[in-house]
Chains A and B, each alone.
Chain A
């Protein structure tokens, strides 16, 4: 067995032995991905994961390295780029990925990518 496979097995046994916790966070992630266009918050996600919200917060961070809301924002903003590239309007994109207002979407988009959604879209054509 190679050094790497040995290390993988060691890490798996020490960090990933609790299959119930892993199932919970994977279920939560899948729920987030399937419901991007809906209003999602920690209370809702913890109901889906059958756990308390603070426990879910800790678990999600432990296994994905981000809080569920940080993860949700990353996925949404990533999806928005796909939609804008396909020619969807900024407003339509904003609501398709669950943002509450085009202005908050544009502000976040600019903070992440250095340009507004409209500027980004113009660059594509």
Chain B
């Protein structure tokens, strides 16, 4: 078995694609129609053969997914995390693009972390190994 795709639930796929590509800098990899929705994945620009992130519209179609996503969001819990080389630099870059952070960069043992809102229903954590 290989890890090829992981999913993030999103409330609006088009909005999510814009945020993940234009703001975060991911690159669209697969975009195919699936009825009213799409199988839509993005990958890291620096690692385009790496794991794909599926922008999955589950909260729109499955009520428990919507409830779970909102519960995580309200509790400030990140749905997932991405690694960056420099959390402070990425924080400043995203802040300048009007991204909202619920946790400013902070050291925690051997990592530095920060948490932002992806505007699609999730908190996302960025992590730098120290």
Contacts and interface: CB of A to CB of B under 8 A. Distances in A.
Interface of A: 2-5, 8, 11-12, 15-16, 22, 25-26, 29, 63-64
Interface of B: 74-78, 102-103, 106, 108-110, 113, 115, 123, 129-130
A100 B15 CA distance: 50
Contacts of A15: 109
A77 to B, nearest CB: 15
A2, A3, A16, A29 interface centre (most CB from chain B within 10 Å): A2
20 contacts: A2-B75, A2-B76, A2-B102, A4-B76, A4-B77, A4-B78, A5-B102, A5-B103, A8-B103, A8-B106, A8-B113, A11-B108, A12-B108, A12-B109, A16-B108, A22-B109, A22-B110, A25-B110, A26-B110, A63-B109
A22 B103 CA distance: 22
A26 B128 CA distance: 12
Contact of B110 (A2, A4, A11, A29): A29
Contacts of A25: 110
Interface of A is mostly: helix
A96 to B, nearest CB: 20
A5 B76 contact: yes
A63 B110 contact: yes
Nearest to B130: A26
A3 B75 contact: yes
A37 B108 CA distance: 29
Nearest to A60: B110
Contacts of A63: 109-110
A25 B115 CA distance: 25
Contacts of B102: 2, 4-5
Given A4-B75, A63-B109, A63-B110, 13 more contacts: A2-B74, A2-B75, A3-B75, A3-B77, A4-B76, A4-B102, A5-B102, A5-B103, A8-B108, A15-B109, A16-B108, A16-B109, A29-B110
